[in-house]
Structure 1
Amino acid sequence: MSGLFSLEGRRAMVTGASRGLGRAMAVALAEAGADVVCASSQRGGTDETAAAIRAAGRQAWQVEADLADRDAVLAMADDAVSQAGRIDILINNGGTIRRHPAAEYPMEAWDAVLRTNLDSVFLLSQRLGAGMIERGSGKIINIASLLSFSGGITVPAYTASKHAVAGLTRALANEWAKHGVQVNAIAPGYFRTDNTQRLQDDPERSRDISARIPAGRWGESEDMAGAAVFLASRASDYVNGHVLVVDGGWMAR
């Protein structure tokens, strides 16, 4: 059974791999046997992640691009293939959030969030998915959100992007499952990351969130490891178009 979860011989790419959930998932894939291309928005941003992967005995490569820049995203995908030879597993984790009341939401913020959170997911999936289709196998894991299911407050662009990521996940799965490519998503709950720092810093809001989570705590980055390895491995070969919620039970409450 353990062989089902082995990633030996596989080559992965993780965006937003400099810290938080991205770093945890990149390292988890390496510990399961994969070699990993670590992507971030700036040169040297994934130095610590790459070092951890190499310490685990796996190869690590580093690429960078502004995910809001379509041309840069495509160039990064090509760079990843040039360095690693191929990409068998893609985790579209990189993203951003901008908070403004909806009635005052700046269009430049809207464009930045949608280009980063949605356009880059499609472009990377399309560019790297083509090789997976040609080879007859591959895994794409998109990072959705609890806001793929609800509306949130003062984050209309983020919410729109994450609803769209869930829909795109299903759309790609519908087309690519027959080619041996599984496209799924993970929807993290409330995790201690940069994106939720404002909520963590609000004592009342943080307390209310913890009280609703059946597990009784916020998620830590390492809580994403098992879900990522499962969806990246042979164990999920018959899982297609699914949004796996990792939230300590929040959605069940």
Structure 2
Amino acid sequence: MDLTQEPEDAQGAQGRQGASLRGKTVFITGAASGLGSALATVLAGCGADIVATDIRPAPLDAAAPAWRELGVRVHTIGFDVADPDAVRHAIGEAFEAMGRLDILINNAGTDVTLPIDALSEEDWLRVIDTNLNGPFLLAKHAAALMRQAGAGHIVNVASTASKRAWPNAAAYHASKWGLLGLSHALHAELRAHNIRVTAVVAGGMRTPFLLDRFPELDPAGLQDPMNVAEAIRSILLMPQETVIAELTVLPMRETSWP
């Protein structure tokens, strides 16, 4: 590192502050609520065209007009990330509708909070299929388009559950530890094709995913999903010569990590 290098001039700093995602297409899973919805809002506000997807299409269609009011194109797709055929079709539909696919954000997730003796095989497979197999399949098909385009960015939304463990969440931990490993493996493999891959280790957020299942949680101890969306936006706006392979975003009162 050259410690004698001159600081960035005002014009360069202003250019970075004014950076946008205009002209880029972002494919977001789990966009009907929580972090996914926040991401669609933040990235549309940054000029990106949005492919908003979820297993529940009705909330997507209800939210789409507000995203379009930000001056971008929006396409919605209802599909299950755990279904390999549906994944393949969704990526193809997104590319056909938008003409390009620059950024994939694997945000969709699920959990079954049960002790292992009560966790059925179906429960286990549902969590693994949604949280790990789905991101693999989406990355596989999206990366093929990104290689053709010469660049791209894949963001995998992990969790503090990928760093430690607590009781009654075996499937969730296995899926998120696996997702973190997958993300780093893709980072190592795809950077040769000018595709950046980032794992975002997100701490607790004020989203239905947590609050609907654990009403005893104090919302004040969680973070606004918009804050995590803003952190992801900053990753996407990094110069192409730089990749952030992993980023941890925690509420100030986080107790699950470290």
- TM-score by length of structure 1 reads 0.89
1:104 CA drift (Å):
2.3
Which of 238, 247, 251 is equivalent to 2:250?
A: 247
1:128 CA drift (Å):
0.7
Question: Partner of 2:120 in structure 1?
Answer: 106
Asked if residue 156 in structure 1 is aligned to residue 170 in structure 2, the reply is: yes
Which of 76, 80, 83 is equivalent to 2:90?
A: 76
Question: Partner of 1:116 in structure 2?
Answer: 130
Two-structure CA RMSD over aligned residues (Å): 1.9
**Identity rate, percent:** 33
Question: Partner of 2:7 in structure 1?
Answer: none
Question: Partner of 1:233 in structure 2?
Answer: 237
How many residues are aligned here?
242
Question: Partner of 1:213 in structure 2?
Answer: none
Question: Partner of 1:55 in structure 2?
Answer: 69
1:105 aligned counterpart, secondary structure = coil
Question: Partner of 2:189 in structure 1?
Answer: 175
Q: Which amino acid aligns with 2:68?
A: R
The whole-number CA distance in structure 1 between the counterparts of 2:53 and 2:236 is: 17
1:49 CA drift (Å):
3.0
Question: Partner of 1:85 in structure 2?
Answer: 99
Q: Which amino acid aligns with 2:249?
A: V
Flag the structure with more relative contact order, 1 or 2, with Cα contacts below 8 A and sequence separation at least 6.
Answer: 1
Q: Which amino acid aligns with 1:23?
A: S
Q: Which amino acid aligns with 2:101?
A: I
The whole-number CA distance in structure 2 between the counterparts of 1:189 and 1:235 is: 26
**5+ residue gaps, structure 2:** 1-12
Is this contact kept in 2: 1:182–1:237, CA < 8 A? Answer: no
Question: Partner of 2:6 in structure 1?
Answer: none
Q: Which has the higher helix share?
A: 1
The whole-number CA distance in structure 2 between the counterparts of 1:198 and 1:18 is: 15
**5+ residue gaps, structure 1:** 211-215
Q: Which amino acid aligns with 2:225?
A: S
Is this contact kept in 2: 1:26–1:49, CA < 8 A? Answer: no
Q: Larger C-alpha radius of gyration, 1 or 2?
A: 2
Is this contact kept in 2: 1:192–1:200, CA < 8 A? Answer: no
